[in-house]
Structure 1
Amino acid sequence: MIVISKRIFPERFEGLTLWPVIILKYDNLRNDEVLINHERIHLKQQLELFILPFYIIYFIEWVIGIFKYKDAHLAYRNISFEREAYKNEENLKYLKTRPLFSSFKYFLA
């Protein structure tokens, strides 16, 4: 399910996934196949980890990244779940061939 809400986004972000909903900043982003694929990758990651552990790991990685990189956006870009999603967002067939728990190979890389 896709929901549109301009209010919850920092300026540079356009999409957010909170199981089972993809939230987009603008309605026209529904047509952005790469963004939708990126967010669907997050849905798959969340489902694999039974949702709550995904958010816990995501938050912990982000906090560690802030201390490591001294930059919140760089910390965000280096979260293992984000690295998998960004690396594969343009491959619109990725989710059909993605092995289970693929984000873990980005965890320690």
Structure 2
Amino acid sequence: MILVSRLFFVKNYVGLTLWPFIIVKDATLKNDTVLINHEKIHLKQQLELLVVFFYVFYLVEWCVRCICYVDSYKAYKNISFEREAYANERNLNYPSARSAFSFIKYL
């Protein structure tokens, strides 16, 4: 289910996934197939890690990468979940074809 809300967004971020919802910054983004596909990949990741573990792993990895890169945006772009999603967001078949725990290849 895709929801529209400006509440969750800062800077240039326009979409996020809070299982089972995809939330976008404005209604026009509901038609952005690449963005929606990116977020669908996150839905798969969240489901396979039973949602809670996804958020724990995401936060821990972001903190570690912030220390490594000393740049929060660079840390975000290098989180394994984000690397998998960005690498495959243009492949519209990827969410249904991906193997479980595929994010591990991006660690």
| Fold shared per TM-score above 0.5 | yes
Shorter-chain TM range is over 0.9
SS in 1 for 2:102: coil
Measured in 2, the distance between the counterparts of 1:78 and 1:87 equals 11
Residue 11 of structure 1 corresponds to: 11
Residue 36 of structure 2 corresponds to: 36
Larger mean CA deviation between 6-15 and 20-29 belongs to 6-15
Aligned length: 107
Aligned-partner residue type, residue 26 of structure 2? Y
Compute the displacement of 1:95 (Å). 1.6
Measured in 1, the distance between the counterparts of 2:30 and 2:12 equals 17
State the TM-score, normalizing by the size of structure 1.
0.95
Compute the displacement of 1:31 (Å). 0.3
Q: Give the ranges of 4+ consecutive aligned residues of structure 1 lying more than 3 Å apart after TM superposition.
A: none
Stretches of structure 2 that go unaligned for 5 or more consecutive residues are none
Q: Give percent identity, aligned residues only.
A: 55
Compute the displacement of 1:90 (Å). 0.4
Residue 84 of structure 2 corresponds to: 84
State the TM-score, normalizing by the size of structure 2.
0.97
Q: Please, what is the CA RMSD of the aligned residues?
A: 0.7
Residue 67 of structure 1 corresponds to: 67
Aligned-partner residue type, residue 14 of structure 2? E
